[in-house]
Amino acid sequence: MPINYYILLSVALFCIGIVGVLTRRNAIIIFMCIELMLNAVNLLLVAFSKMHHLKAAATNAAATAGSDGQLFVFFIMVVAAAEVSVGLAIIVMMYRNIHSVDINFLNRLKH
């Protein structure tokens, strides 16, 4: 399967994520859109890693070629998990304080 499809899918996912972040007001949905962007990147990394591996195998290179891309994916997942825990905690605190998760109510950051 050509790499182009993976790239297009990733870009589509990423753009959906961006648009979601920019347009939605619900903090949880924004949060999910951010996860969407992260995973779009993960998908792309895995795809490139696979492609790299296949090319290396064709030329009888080392069997581990291209595996570093997949390693990155694990890193990103770990970081994302940590981020989710912190982010959700913030959202919970926000809900407790203003009884809403609408970010437009959250306009007192400048003070």
Partner 1 sequence: MNNVLNIAYWIPLLPLIGFLINGLGRKHLSKTATGIIGSGVILGAFVLSIWVFLEVKGGNTHDAHYFDFISVGDLKIPFSFKIDQLSSLFLLIITGVGFLIHVYSTAYMHEEKSEHFSRYFAYLNLFVFSMLLLVMGGNFVIMFIGWEGVGLCSYLLIGFWFKNQEYNKAANKAFIMNRIGDLAFLIAIFWIIAKVGSVNYTDVFSAAGLAKLKAADVVIITILLFVGATGKSAQIPLYTWLPDAMAGPTPVSALIHAATMVTAGIYMIARCNVLYSLDAAEITRNIIAYTGLATALLAASIALKQNDIKKVLAYSTVSQLGFMFLALGCGAYTAAVFHVMTHAFFKALLFLGSGSVIHAMGGDQDIRNMGGLSKKLKITYITFLIGCIAIAGIPPFSGFFSKDAILLSAYLKSPVLYGIALFAALLTAFYMFRLLFLTFTGKFRGTHDQEHHLHESPAAMTIPLIILAVLSVIGGFVGIPAVFAEGGDKLGAFLSPVIAAAHGEAHHVTHSTEYMLMGLSTALVLIMIVFAWFRFRNYQRSEATGLGKVLENKWYVDELYDKIFVQPLHRFGGFLKNIIENKVVDGMVNAVGKGVNYGSRQLRLLQSGQVGNYVLLMVLGIIVLLAIQFFIRK
Interface with partner 1 by CB under 8 A: which residues? 18, 21-22, 25, 30, 103-104, 106-111
Instruction: Please say which residue, 7 or 65, places its beta carbon nearer to partner 1.
Output: 7
Query: Smallest distance, Å, CB 106 to partner 1?
Result: 5
Distance between CA 99 and CA 76 in Å, rounded? 32
CA end-to-end span of the chain: 53
Query: Smallest distance, Å, CB 72 to partner 1?
Result: 19
Query: Smallest distance, Å, CB 70 to partner 1?
Result: 25
Neighbours of 17 (CB within 10 A): 21
Instruction: Please say which residue, 24 or 50, places its beta carbon nearer to partner 1.
Output: 24
Pull the structure tokens for residue 77.
Answer: 């997942």
Q: Which helix (H) or strand (E) holds 110?
A: none
